[in-house]
Structure 1
Amino acid sequence: MSVTKASAAEAEYATPSPNPHQEGHDGNGSKDIAASFLAKNVAGQRVSVTPAESARVLRRIDTVILPIMLTVYFLQGLDKTTLAYASVFGLIEDTKLVGNQYSWLGSIVYLAQLAMQPPLAWLLVRLPIAKFTSAMVLLWGVSLTCMAAAHNFGGLLATRFFLGVFEASVAPSFVAITQMWWRRREQTVRTSYWYAMNGFTNMFGSLITYGLGHISSQLHSYQIIFLFFGIITVAFSFVMLAFMPDSPVEAKFLSDDDKLIAVERLRMNQMGVVSREWRNDHLKEALLDPKSWLWFALLFSISIPSGGISTFGPLIIKTFGFDSFGTILFNIPFGFVQLVATVGGAFVAQKIKMKGPVIAALCLPPIAGCVMLMVLPRDASHRASLLVGYYLISVYPGITPLIYSWASQNTAGDTKKKCTNAILLIGQSVGNVIGPMLYTQTEAPGYTKGLRSNLALYIVIIVLVGITSSYLKVLNAAHAKRRVAMGKSAVIVDTSLDSAEEVAAQQIRDDADKNAKNAEEGDVAAASTEVERPGERAFENLTDLQNEEFVFVF
């Protein structure tokens, strides 16, 4: 790492107080904590990061932060799907659930999450994110443990409600944590890693549940399941509290130099790190920004199928003619396909540097799967084909993390990021509430209404992808016009989706082009100057619409 003298424009981001005359700045002193950190450590200087240094710090971050996120999300997936596992071990019969009461147990978690999203947006801006999330993990572990003591619909409904209240923080917290630790290029795959834990849940959760179901005890099998997963969750909350830092500048596992590198790596994201200051103007912009509601619509549309299948998936397999243990075992490939689709889709999106086309492509296998389950008869001769159709549907989980990362990578400003996350997660919660309601026991074994609605929504998602991509192109064109009006270049080379090696190569090309141009003009002095680059306003806590240098990605 080296520190080079910055130009007057470049030094601006590092000063502790903002310029109230800048366009898009309200002059209220709001800054990202990264700006204060840089001002304190390298005031007036720009940190130059080599590809080797960037890779070394990235490995360090991946080694410490990622395992914690993976484990927490794995436990969250397990804890939420314990109801589905318990349903095949007599929960419905023993607790005398009737009508759509089982469906309500699936939906109540998401109703609680829906109610929690607005206050969570404020809490995630104001509170240290790692400590807050650790507390939520502890409380949802306690809630799950208490489910073992519930013997009727009322008790199960209450404990499932509190499980949803505390689990509501996981997705918005993890999206925010991913934004503050990784470059835009890296975020897509890292998001897929922690979201893919749902696949591990369906694989290893099924195996663990299979083992727990064979324990001889005075307790019911489903009570053992609740206790086992609940106690593990409580224990891991203390691990997260001990090892997860609240931001890169507060990370004890990074040296001071590595903290500078970790922050500088994020400059071209143009998204900042964290401010811990609530901004009402950011909230207003998030509510009025059409992008927010496009993300809402996308996540709502995929969450209806997700909520239905996650709650009724094992019961659908059971209609193929399997017993309880066979149902659990045949749910394992669902998790494997889900894992491959989630991580594979993210790698493809990273490779082509676009998410919209990948989301649309991932809708095609579930469309085929829905059609197969709707037309094939439920008999022994079609059992293999029915399983294939069910496994084709299991590709759909790869869509959700791509929507998470697509939305987060096109949103800047600390408060706006948290509010936008709340809006799209409200869409997810509403979809997950509706999803289980479309699958009712009275429609077994065909579940026609649920499958038909899911089929229609996959087609809606493809249409929404086209609309969203077109709107992002319009926003990029508008920013280009603003830059020209301000005397800047209309074109910005966005390197936030490039590898460290590609960034270094681009910088060499830019320097060579600038020097060649200046040399042709006979300006020898100018030929030796450093090429000016975007990013001077990256840590000013500006929104994506305020910062004319922000580049929207597809």
Structure 2
Amino acid sequence: MTQALEIATLPMEAKGPLEIPTDSEKEKEKDVEKDPAMVMDAEISEKSSVAAGEIQDDAVPSYSEEEYRKLKRKADRYLLPLMWLCYGIQQTDKTSIGTQATFGLSKDTGLHGQQYSWLTTVFYITYMCFEFPSNIILQRYLMGRTLSCYMLCWGVVVLCVGFAQNFTQLVTLRALQGFFECCISPGFILVVGSWYTTREHASRSLVFQSANAGFGVIANLILYGIGSVQYKRGSEFQAWRYMSYFLGSMTILVGCLCLFLLGTPSEVRWLSPEEKKIANARILSNNTGHDKTGIKKWKWKQARECLIDPCFWFAGLNAFLNSVPNGGITAFGSIINTNAGFTNLQVILLDIPKNITSVLWFVCIGIITSRKKNLRLYFMMVSVIPPVAGFAIMASLPNEPQYKWTKWTGFFITVPCVVALFLAWTLIPSNVAGRTKRTLTSSFTFVGYCVGNMVGSQIFKAKDAPRYIPGTAACAVCFGLEFFLLVAWRVILVTRNRRREKQLAEQGISEEERIERGKQLGEQDCTDFENPYFRYTM
């Protein structure tokens, strides 16, 4: 039963191509029984004829490798720096709450008990609630314009945080921030899927995701400069407010830039009509169609398919397990390090080598995965092992001066953990075909991400200060469980690919035929289950 679902074929009731003269009907039926590929050819022909009426430019012209390379280089020049900047700003806007807390945010706004934790929790509650509707909006309307409008709105919210006077105002603004920031990560994953081939998904996604640490170096230096003013002028200069003024203003400026440059191939103004055709033709090898051929109608069949696909559940659970530690460290990392004996300015500076190491690890993975196939899950497994030891060190050592550098080392070796989350996101455009199925998988993954961050911010309780032993120990356990989940995920994908290769070999279908048929079904919004020529990336 499972195998039948995984290698599902199209309905075998194609009428047009399979109608034959009565006098040779029996003879033809015998031929079909001997060669099942004839049935598939007939089905593809029928679906292609139907799609021709729905999709303009159905006959995709062929282009030279040089034309494809030229288009790819142009896309890299425009998109990668812009997405890197946007993603870096978003991460800094989201996580700066931890730095601001060490510069008096809690004291100046009268926070007490778990109120500070709720500033992170409420962010992810609204992030989660509006994740799915935002995903639908992104795929139904102009993606670039929609993302830009969201970015402008959250820039205004971050700016307003600097004017907050109490918990009510802060928690309202953080809720609005989660609402507007919910679409940036899934949106960028969809943009990458509409521009790049499957082999390039990991490296291009890692470029903008490296801003999580890379832009952090720049932001930390600026925040350090703002924070140092407080040391000179005294507590009357509330540095955390000026951090919000700076971050909010910068977000608004970059959002304006995105209005003119960000989008899918059919949206952007910096491609000629011919270049747009080249861009769409280039990604047909992904077997997922392109941004014009995707059928926007909701398909309940694809939604049901998600429920029986173990990889759908793996994606969400992996995001949850990785995000529990992420939520805790985002909200409490700076506090844990100041409790260990560092000043708030030292904590900002100590984040810089951590961020640089993270960028180098991202670059290494990006280069290797762009040259060699099926290594993503291996890198994800390797990246969750050091954090287990890191959180164990933080949980076990006391906050004594002689241990502060050892505890910081434990904090430092948690650096690779985010790779297991970010690379999992790149598997969505690479491994999930069908617009409805991809939308649901993306949404469910980010639901896991949100719930994990909410849990992570709540397991670090005020009563456990200053060491927060239960919270740090729970983070170590999450990474251990994530490792075994990643192993199971890869085993399933390898098994699926082998079964499909075996079936196609029995039918005598060559690799060239497989690729061509896969493209045709991909253009018709078939899922990876419905397309037997689809190959999973690992």
TM-score, length basis structure 2: 0.85
* Pairing 1:141-220 to 2, within 5 Å after superposition: 141-215=155-229, 220=238
Aligned counterparts of 2:227 and 2:432: Cα–Cα separation in 1: 45
Which residue is equivalent to 1:289? 309
Give the counterpart of 1:271 among 279, 288, 296: 288
Q: Structure 2: where are the runs of 5+ without partners?
A: 1-16, 18-39
Note the C-alpha offset of 1:371.
2.2
1:127 aligns with 2:158: no
Aligned counterparts of 2:424 and 2:282: Cα–Cα separation in 1: 23
Code of the aligned partner of 1:383: K
Which residue is equivalent to 2:327? 307
Measured against aligned partners, the alpha-carbon deviations of 1:505-530 in whole angstroms (never above 9, x if no partner) come to xxxxxxxxxxxxxxxxxxxxxxxxxx
Code of the aligned partner of 1:223: R
Residues 31/209 of structure 1: CA separation in 2 closer, same or farther (3 Å cut): farther
CA contact (8 A) 1:369 1:390 kept: yes
Code of the aligned partner of 1:463: F
Note the C-alpha offset of 1:476.
2.3
Residues 338/493 of structure 1: CA separation in 2 closer, same or farther (3 Å cut): farther
CA contact (8 A) 1:343 1:398 kept: no
Note the C-alpha offset of 1:261.
2.4
* Pairing 1:89-100 to 2, within 5 Å after superposition: 89-100=103-114
Residues 429/27 of structure 1: CA separation in 2 closer, same or farther (3 Å cut): farther
Give the counterpart of 2:420 among 391, 399, 402: 399
Note the C-alpha offset of 1:439.
1.4
Aligned residue for 2:388, secondary structure, equals helix
Residues 24/165 of structure 1: CA separation in 2 closer, same or farther (3 Å cut): farther
Code of the aligned partner of 2:282: R
Q: What is the percent sequence identity of the aligned residues?
A: 25
Residues 345/253 of structure 1: CA separation in 2 closer, same or farther (3 Å cut): same
Which residue is equivalent to 1:427? 448
Note the C-alpha offset of 1:220.
1.9
Aligned counterparts of 2:295 and 2:147: Cα–Cα separation in 1: 15
CA contact (8 A) 2:44 2:517 kept: no
Note the C-alpha offset of 1:338.
2.3
Q: Which moved more, 1:209-218 or 1:313-322?
A: 209-218
Aligned counterparts of 2:309 and 2:512: Cα–Cα separation in 1: 23
Code of the aligned partner of 1:347: I
Aligned counterparts of 1:376 and 1:494: Cα–Cα separation in 2: 57
Which residue is equivalent to 2:355? 335
Give the counterpart of 2:255 among 237, 246, 249: 237
Aligned counterparts of 2:388 and 2:169: Cα–Cα separation in 1: 37
1:543 aligns with 2:524: no
Instruction: Compare the two structures and name the one with the higher helix fraction.
Output: 2
* Pairing 1:96-107 to 2, within 5 Å after superposition: 96-107=110-121
CA RMSD of aligned residues (A): 2.7
CA contact (8 A) 1:349 1:358 kept: no
Give the counterpart of 1:443 among 453, 458, 464: 464
Give the counterpart of 2:272 among 243, 247, 255: 255
Residues 346/447 of structure 1: CA separation in 2 closer, same or farther (3 Å cut): farther
Aligned residue for 1:553, secondary structure, equals coil
Aligned residue for 2:519, secondary structure, equals coil
Aligned residue for 1:377, secondary structure, equals coil
Aligned counterparts of 1:31 and 1:82: Cα–Cα separation in 2: 51
Give the counterpart of 2:336 among 304, 316, 326: 316
Give the counterpart of 1:410 among 431, 454, 464: 431
1:59 aligns with 2:78: no
Q: Count matched residues.
A: 492
Code of the aligned partner of 1:416: K
Code of the aligned partner of 2:392: V
Q: Which moved more, 1:248-257 or 1:54-63?
A: 248-257
* Pairing 1:13-162 to 2, within 5 Å after superposition: 22=43, 36=56, 38-39=57-58, 43=59, 46-50=61-65, 52-162=66-176
Aligned counterparts of 2:295 and 2:93: Cα–Cα separation in 1: 30
Residues 490/297 of structure 1: CA separation in 2 closer, same or farther (3 Å cut): farther
Code of the aligned partner of 2:438: K
Aligned counterparts of 2:178 and 2:497: Cα–Cα separation in 1: 38
Note the C-alpha offset of 1:92.
1.0
Which residue is equivalent to 1:367? 388
Code of the aligned partner of 1:548: P
Which residue is equivalent to 2:365? 345
Code of the aligned partner of 1:234: I
Aligned residue for 2:213, secondary structure, equals helix
Aligned residue for 2:392, secondary structure, equals helix
Aligned counterparts of 1:202 and 1:403: Cα–Cα separation in 2: 22
Residues 146/276 of structure 1: CA separation in 2 closer, same or farther (3 Å cut): farther
Aligned counterparts of 1:311 and 1:488: Cα–Cα separation in 2: 57
Aligned counterparts of 1:377 and 1:539: Cα–Cα separation in 2: 59
Residues 106/24 of structure 1: CA separation in 2 closer, same or farther (3 Å cut): farther
Aligned counterparts of 1:152 and 1:163: Cα–Cα separation in 2: 17
Q: Structure 1: where are the runs of 5+ without partners?
A: 1-11, 13-18, 496-531
